[in-house]
Structure 1
């Protein structure tokens, strides 16, 4: 009896699943229309055809009006009645005929596209705020095809099931809950792909809205600044039921990263988006997005989207497509936006009356719309600005954090990676192509083989994981000791641990780092480090321990070690090794110290403040070069300099400005204190699963620093006070254009006893390679020549241009290159207006956008001195 009942239920379910429509969407010439949109009129139910034009849509028995759409083709509506069977409905769409309703008269007449776009731009924020909340189900299918794999990756990728010409498929189904102004909650109920079952599809694409000012870091054609970056061309209109839809060509004034080109379709009178087909470029890749909108409760919402990436990167060539189908439920329209606002183009027609300031402050938006009937774009902006201000104040009064720009949460269902084929056949809204089906079958076979191999080798794998082989001993390895503890071992033959300098000769370093992780990103660590100087036959080392939380931390370090005179480490030991052995330039100057340091940091106090600092006591010793040091290459024009740095200020005090008057010091004790307080107002952030992710803040960052040499205690020989004020800001000046500036001014209020390591130092550079912060580092400044114990002013300005000289050429701009103009300035009693004026080109090597080359002209006291050339990176990695 149980078997009979089970079979009966299966038959009922199969019958229910069979109810709906399927077929293909083609042109009248019989060519398939990939990713065509199929929608049920009056509802949010719909689907998207696959790359072959095939579609399937499950429907309960009943009568429906089905709308078939494809950009550039006339929408077709079919009335159907669904029974308990699947109806085959093959559709042929005709190309859309456009009607030119207006023409330009005379050479000075404006294209009618501009009056349409001015109204659409004015109304964009209105449309963005219309929806108060919704629930939606999103089906995403991502498919990729790698056409070329570089030789060095063929073998390893083949083991993972990735080969040239074999599709990579990823599907996911998510439930999305949206609430104004910025809350998106996602629950991934199912995900499946041909590579790793844990991978999640690019759900961020669902949130893209062209009503916002930017989409994917590119300026939207409906941005308030759109007319600065785009020209528009009216291409005609067509009727769709009772609607008139205008086709507008979007033409960037200079195409490249940060701008779109293509077509956007705007509905007459409401000025909402009907559909769009736009493309841009990013990092040398082509990006295309197609969206079709459908009305729901009078609001036009995107129901289907297609996103395409194609191009070459790091030797890989391929194409990736993302098809997104959205079904909305529980849509709530914001009551303040129910009343339609008629927007006039101020250039053609002005409203009959203005809105009083009293009405603007006291009346609600829908009341103003009903009262005013017709508004200009300027009036509508005022209305929306006041609405958002009042809404912000209300949320603030309800104790909401108004600094949250966006709140996202993603929860992955425990069954998301375990759904079977029957589940996918029921829930999938875009049919698989034949190639995609074969790809799934192939990946399933590969996965079965891998699982079998892992099981067969499990004993061997466990044994291998505990081995400490020769390579681990020399280079290092990370060991998982338990769920909370891990050990990070760095071996002596890592590049950064095996170095050379003229004081110690060859140096080997090695460290152990025992890390204990707690909840909420809290970490405790103990790190012993050993350093053996082969030339000196000296063993040095330190022991560090500390605790680091999400916003605060404390550390204690002590031992015997060497340090550069500039604690910011202006030259890395690795670069110094190359400069010393290959070019006979021993730029790094070091001294030895026995020390203990207690440091702390408390970041983003109240989201705008951070404080850090430390106190150190140590005994400091001078070091000299080893005798008979030899570079690998002997240059006649170079020679090793003493380990003691040359400093103009020190030499001046000795009345000896000769270059061979180097800084020396006697052993001494030093107790020093340093504190920095940073204030960056207006900090905004996103919430991701409840955790804050701070955004780029365009407001200036202000820092006050204080350094103190404390005399007497512990026989400390230092006695000084230094105060410094910094201001730094990063600004967007246009599409992919930025202005970065940093100004620092300070002075020693007291310098009764100051050693060179306590001077104010500047980030100099004498090597051909530049690294670190490219915005605040000098390119050709000697490392210690202009260090000072008096007053100083330091300034750096860099302007990054998307379109300047070479980038005016389209093929250069499309390759992702950027040009920089920079000025670096220093004023001290010994540095009389030291100035560097430079030009840099980022992204010169295709596929490596972070690589840069520079040419710098150096001036002393506004007189030309020399020209320097540098290569480097825009990455900020450690010194």
Structure 2
């Protein structure tokens, strides 16, 4: 289940004390305050209450001042003398009353929220970089309740302990160290899961900060671009000790995915976050984020975090909560950020002095702060920009890899999944509720039952790993042959292996993939494939052997097989089966070949280049339709076309009105090479392995195809060169512009056959699938293929707020609108253009479906309009 997850992984303080405090945090009406924050003033100790408002906190004997916090309520401090045992300390919090300053809000006066937010935004990078390092321990509790399960999965999931209304619980304790700019080290000390105690954690969280421009894929209210996405409203302030805290209402200009709404609390003068309560939506899930910050060595750090996700996906409905209790220790403040600086809003007041460019370039941040105690928001941004530039230069001089965005390592303690209940009772900082305790008891009972059943027939369990039954023979399955050898068997009645076309009739395929894994990245494989065409009564097949490594691979394939004239396979075998049998459209055009092919690929050479290609020698045969080819439904207006494709360029050369491409059996030696250059590749590192991030820089792709003559009777002689430019440009929240520009020409076309022409990814079926950004919607598959030259362009703009998505209910449903232009120019096709409009995410919970309407123009003259139902999924094999 794809869920938007945001998390700060921080610290849980030491708890191995003999005594402490416990109690209930509630309102004046006696209502419990779920997940209230409890901190010990002047220390790194703290915890959170549970869903019932109960808490426990281990403390050393002595005098302690305890601070209770909850969003929207006054903080409460209590002093207690702790002896050797746990003492009860309840807390009743009062709702926070806001003071509204006398301010003029009207057409000529600006809401004071804007001057507060301008200064908070200007100082966001200061706060993001203020801590140079820390060590931490985090207690994380995840609870989830599924309220609706698709009926066909109820019995299966019930066996695994998943039922409607039954809570799912996960706990983990993690030790973490952080060092600027991006180094995180995590050690999982203990983990416990009411679903399956074998996994360290079911959650894959992403570290994020509201001081950063984005949180997940949503724009932070403290982003430099925030005023383009939000309006702000001042709701008042309150005093907390010596501090004044402003409550700002965050109002998205258009609510939906990618933006927040709610309240953010900003501390006067320091402009740091005090707390926040924000909501957003992700793929029809409602997401609530609550954070409470606490001063640690005069730096306000998040110590109480709550995330709630509620909604539905693919028939499942539920709610999930992530509660994090943390403390900090060994926190080091960057010396450059120790000097306090007053940030002025230049819209109302200017600093006494301006910063000289020479000072910006030559002086450190703390020196500038001593020199000039007051700076404008504009100057603050310039200072931080120059600081990061200098810091980047220093890292470069120390030969650090500047393309590393995150550097993580995660170690799971060998005892993490084996901790006893006694251990958890001592280390747990948030007490379990009664329903959570019952969840563990139920899962423990279910686990014992499974273990007894397994041990009762262990020999049968071993046999099951290699057992073959009638169903597996038909559909396939995986077999573990030994510790390192695995066999993946695809049966003939898998969806993609049972097909129909007018050349072969009904077709069944089956393959055996023997794989040997040498390590985490290197795999050797041998894959024989058998194909039987019932109409032709012909057996064919291939054998592939090769090696796949980390971002590279090489393979050798040989045998006899059928291929589409367009090697990019514009229509899948299953889609062609449906079109042929149900609608009398045999779009797929095939030929057969005996061949041997050597293929290779290398991705991200030096993190910039990727190269792939193949060298193939083959004998190619023409195929014709079967005489008895029949659809299931006969349509009076349709009929099967010959298997030989019709091509306008070929027809013009023969001066024939309707000339389908025919060819004689021949031999061909061909070479294809593709080189991609994409600079600026960034990546994260996890346990020493690179994970490449989505690169927004343009890709330059150079392709070269060569028909090599006079070797082993090869009858082809041509040279085709292509150059492409491809990029995805973010234009807003959940809005992107995708473009692909390509041009190419045959430098030599002395001898080539139709499968050697330049073909285009056309579509004549009602369903549009595959790459939505570089495929035509209504172009004939082969009519305009060329052996001369071409110019091709695809531009697709995805927007979350265009026409229909301006309606809030439509936008909140997760729909996106697409505007598209597809263009092709060849010697026989003057200015073919498609102008289209599409809607993504029409089916709730299934974001990969879309509907499109496309107008087709030729030589800038309107021809027709087509409608397409699209999906990014592919149905079956090629």
TM-score interval w.r.t. the shorter chain? over 0.9
Q: Name whichever of 180-189 and 340-349 sits farther off.
A: 340-349
Q: Name whichever of 468-477 and 223-232 sits farther off.
A: 468-477
SS at match of 1:803: coil
2:663, 2:654 → 1: CA distance?
A: 14
2:725, 2:741 → 1: CA distance?
A: 5
SS at match of 1:157: helix
Question: Counterpart in 1 of 2:754?
Answer: 756
Question: Counterpart in 1 of 2:218?
Answer: 218
Question: Counterpart in 2 of 1:800?
Answer: 798
Question: Counterpart in 2 of 1:378?
Answer: 378
RMSD over aligned CA atoms reads: 1.3
Q: Once the 2 structures are TM-superposed, how far is the Cα of residue 150 of structure 1 from its aligned partner?
A: 2.6
* Aligned pairs (5 A) from 1:228-307: 228-307=228-307
Q: Once the 2 structures are TM-superposed, how far is the Cα of residue 628 of structure 1 from its aligned partner?
A: 2.3
Question: Counterpart in 1 of 2:722?
Answer: 724
Q: 1:17 touches 1:426 (CA, 8 Å); kept in 2?
A: no
Question: Counterpart in 2 of 1:699?
Answer: 697
Question: Counterpart in 1 of 2:584?
Answer: 584
Q: Once the 2 structures are TM-superposed, how far is the Cα of residue 585 of structure 1 from its aligned partner?
A: 0.7
Q: Which runs of 5+ in 2 are unaligned?
A: 1-14
Question: Counterpart in 2 of 1:603?
Answer: 603
Q: 2:704 touches 2:722 (CA, 8 Å); kept in 1?
A: yes
Q: Which runs of 5+ in 1 are unaligned?
A: 1-14
Q: 1:142 touches 1:201 (CA, 8 Å); kept in 2?
A: no
Q: 2:512 touches 2:529 (CA, 8 Å); kept in 1?
A: yes
Q: Once the 2 structures are TM-superposed, how far is the Cα of residue 105 of structure 1 from its aligned partner?
A: 4.9
SS at match of 2:21: strand
Q: 2:200 touches 2:417 (CA, 8 Å); kept in 1?
A: no
Distance 1:738 1:692, change over 3 A: same
Q: 2:651 touches 2:660 (CA, 8 Å); kept in 1?
A: yes
Equivalent pairs counted in the alignment come to 863
CA displacement 1:572-602 (0-9 Å, x = unmatched): 1111111111111111001111111111111
Question: Counterpart in 2 of 1:319?
Answer: 319
- The answer to whether 1:874 aligns with 2:855 is no
Question: Counterpart in 2 of 1:519?
Answer: 519
2:642, 2:874 → 1: CA distance?
A: 30
1:411, 1:102 → 2: CA distance?
A: 55
SS at match of 1:833: strand
CA displacement 1:312-341 (0-9 Å, x = unmatched): 222222211111011111101111111122
SS at match of 1:109: coil
Q: 1:206 touches 1:324 (CA, 8 Å); kept in 2?
A: no
Question: Counterpart in 2 of 1:191?
Answer: 191
SS at match of 1:767: coil
Q: 1:237 touches 1:246 (CA, 8 Å); kept in 2?
A: yes
2:653, 2:465 → 1: CA distance?
A: 62
Q: Once the 2 structures are TM-superposed, how far is the Cα of residue 350 of structure 1 from its aligned partner?
A: 1.7
Question: Counterpart in 1 of 2:432?
Answer: 432
SS at match of 1:211: coil
Q: 1:407 touches 1:686 (CA, 8 Å); kept in 2?
A: yes
1:832, 1:206 → 2: CA distance?
A: 50
CA displacement 1:379-411 (0-9 Å, x = unmatched): 122211221122122222222111001112211
Question: Counterpart in 2 of 1:669?
Answer: 667
Question: Counterpart in 2 of 1:457?
Answer: 457
Question: Counterpart in 1 of 2:7?
Answer: none
Q: Once the 2 structures are TM-superposed, how far is the Cα of residue 48 of structure 1 from its aligned partner?
A: 0.5
Question: Counterpart in 1 of 2:10?
Answer: none
TM-score in terms of structure 1 length = 0.97
Q: 1:245 touches 1:265 (CA, 8 Å); kept in 2?
A: yes
TM-score in terms of structure 2 length = 0.97
Question: Counterpart in 2 of 1:477?
Answer: 477
Question: Counterpart in 2 of 1:568?
Answer: 568
Question: Counterpart in 2 of 1:157?
Answer: 157
Question: Counterpart in 2 of 1:24?
Answer: 24
Q: Once the 2 structures are TM-superposed, how far is the Cα of residue 356 of structure 1 from its aligned partner?
A: 1.7
2:370, 2:803 → 1: CA distance?
A: 52
1:190, 1:875 → 2: CA distance?
A: 39
SS at match of 1:823: strand
SS at match of 2:446: helix
Q: 2:206 touches 2:216 (CA, 8 Å); kept in 1?
A: no
SS at match of 1:542: strand
SS at match of 1:496: helix
Q: 2:466 touches 2:480 (CA, 8 Å); kept in 1?
A: no
Question: Counterpart in 2 of 1:364?
Answer: 364
Question: Counterpart in 2 of 1:9?
Answer: none
Question: Counterpart in 2 of 1:490?
Answer: 490
1:352, 1:837 → 2: CA distance?
A: 57
1:545, 1:189 → 2: CA distance?
A: 43
SS at match of 2:369: helix
Q: Once the 2 structures are TM-superposed, how far is the Cα of residue 874 of structure 1 from its aligned partner?
A: 3.1
1:613, 1:314 → 2: CA distance?
A: 39
2:61, 2:203 → 1: CA distance?
A: 32
- The answer to whether 1:710 aligns with 2:708 is yes
Distance 1:273 1:203, change over 3 A: farther
Question: Counterpart in 2 of 1:416?
Answer: 416
2:99, 2:89 → 1: CA distance?
A: 30
* Aligned pairs (5 A) from 1:739-754: 739-754=737-752
Question: Counterpart in 2 of 1:144?
Answer: 144
- The answer to whether 1:545 aligns with 2:541 is no
Q: 2:696 touches 2:729 (CA, 8 Å); kept in 1?
A: yes
Q: Once the 2 structures are TM-superposed, how far is the Cα of residue 16 of structure 1 from its aligned partner?
A: 6.9
SS at match of 1:651: helix
2:538, 2:379 → 1: CA distance?
A: 77
- The answer to whether 1:683 aligns with 2:684 is no
Q: Name whichever of 346-355 and 34-43 sits farther off.
A: 346-355
Question: Counterpart in 1 of 2:339?
Answer: 339
Q: Name whichever of 96-105 and 261-270 sits farther off.
A: 96-105
Q: 2:851 touches 2:869 (CA, 8 Å); kept in 1?
A: yes
| Equivalent of 2:811 in 796, 810, 813 | 813
CA displacement 1:330-363 (0-9 Å, x = unmatched): 1011111111221111211122222222211111
1:144, 1:850 → 2: CA distance?
A: 26
Q: Name whichever of 465-474 and 411-420 sits farther off.
A: 465-474
CA displacement 1:847-878 (0-9 Å, x = unmatched): 10111111111111111111111112134787
* Aligned pairs (5 A) from 1:74-223: 74-201=74-201, 205=205, 207-223=207-223
Q: 1:176 touches 1:184 (CA, 8 Å); kept in 2?
A: yes
CA displacement 1:610-668 (0-9 Å, x = unmatched): 11111111111111111121111111111111110000000000111x2x310001111
1:203, 1:355 → 2: CA distance?
A: 47
Distance 1:60 1:598, change over 3 A: same
Question: Counterpart in 1 of 2:774?
Answer: 776
SS at match of 2:602: strand
Question: Counterpart in 1 of 2:9?
Answer: none
SS at match of 1:782: coil
SS at match of 1:415: coil
CA displacement 1:223-274 (0-9 Å, x = unmatched): 1111110010001111111101001010101111100010000000000000
Question: Counterpart in 2 of 1:790?
Answer: 788
SS at match of 1:221: coil
Q: Once the 2 structures are TM-superposed, how far is the Cα of residue 463 of structure 1 from its aligned partner?
A: 2.1
Q: 1:96 touches 1:238 (CA, 8 Å); kept in 2?
A: yes
CA displacement 1:499-547 (0-9 Å, x = unmatched): 1111111111111111111124011111111111111111111111111
Q: 1:748 touches 1:789 (CA, 8 Å); kept in 2?
A: yes
SS at match of 1:715: coil
CA displacement 1:683-726 (0-9 Å, x = unmatched): 00111111111111111000111111111111111111111000
Distance 1:748 1:16, change over 3 A: closer
Q: 1:582 touches 1:631 (CA, 8 Å); kept in 2?
A: yes
Q: Once the 2 structures are TM-superposed, how far is the Cα of residue 465 of structure 1 from its aligned partner?
A: 2.4
